[in-house]
Amino acid sequence: MMKKSVLAVVLFSGALSSSVMAQSHVESFIGGGIGYQTDTFKGDANKHSEDASYQLRAGVIINDHHRLSATYGFKKDRYSIEDDKAKHTQNLFLTSYDYLMPVTSTINLFAGPSMGISHDRISYSNAGAQSASDFVWGGQVGANIQLTSHISSDLTYRYLDQNYKQANTRLKATEQVVWSVDYKF
């Protein structure tokens, strides 16, 4: 499963980048963000895990309308299930495509798909830890504002379908609201 997930991410990224990289105007960017993330668990842990999410990202913007990015995200949360204390740690590795729709000369709305790999680890005080890396996919929408010629900021909502399942615990979905700042070069 893991090899198929990695292959799917590589093929998705390659297909998108090869078709749009033939265009003329390309700007690179690097940035980071912070936001709120909630994860929906089913099974023994039938609850929502929520906490801050931190992200680093890099990518390219092609002809002012197509954005390809690679994102690393991290989230850690502690919660209780009856008398058992639990800790959920998540590392997300995503590739995304966004179509940027201009509203004004400095503001764009955007939407697009994301896919990648999520590594989740859940530790229980009474039962040890369980972890797995699984394929994730979903999409995002948001707004982008160009603050200066090199600095922009995004407000993004992202939904990801998860496939994590260990013992009687299933992570069904991840939702994020993230504010990020990027530097173009």
65-91 pLDDT, tens per residue? 999 999 999 999 887 767 778 788 999
Rounded distance between C-alpha atoms, residue 102 and residue 110, angstroms: 9
Structure tokens, 23: 């265009």
Task: Count up the domains in the chain and report the number.
Answer: 1
What does residue 14 show for φ and ψ, rounded to 5 degrees? -65, -40
Residue 113 is part of a domain; what is its CATH number? 2.40.160.20
CA 141 to chain centre: 12
Rounded distance between C-alpha atoms, residue 149 and residue 163, angstroms: 40
Q: pTM (2 decimals)? A: 0.82
- The angle at the Cα of 138, spanning 34 to 91, to the nearest 5 degrees, equals 45
- 132 three-state secondary structure: strand
DSSP alpha helix (H) spans, the chain = 2-21
Structure tokens, 146: 């160009």
CA dihedral 39, 42, 46, 51 (to 10 degrees): -10
What's the chain's average pLDDT? 86
Alpha-carbon torsion 138, 112, 182, 102, what sign?
negative
Average pLDDT over residues 140-160: 98
Domain that holds residue 46: 2-184
- Do the beta carbons of residue 53 and residue 35 sit within 8 Å? yes
**Residue whose tokens read 């229980």:** 124
152-176 pLDDT, tens per residue? 999 999 999 987 777 777 788 899 9
- Do the beta carbons of residue 162 and residue 171 sit within 8 Å? yes
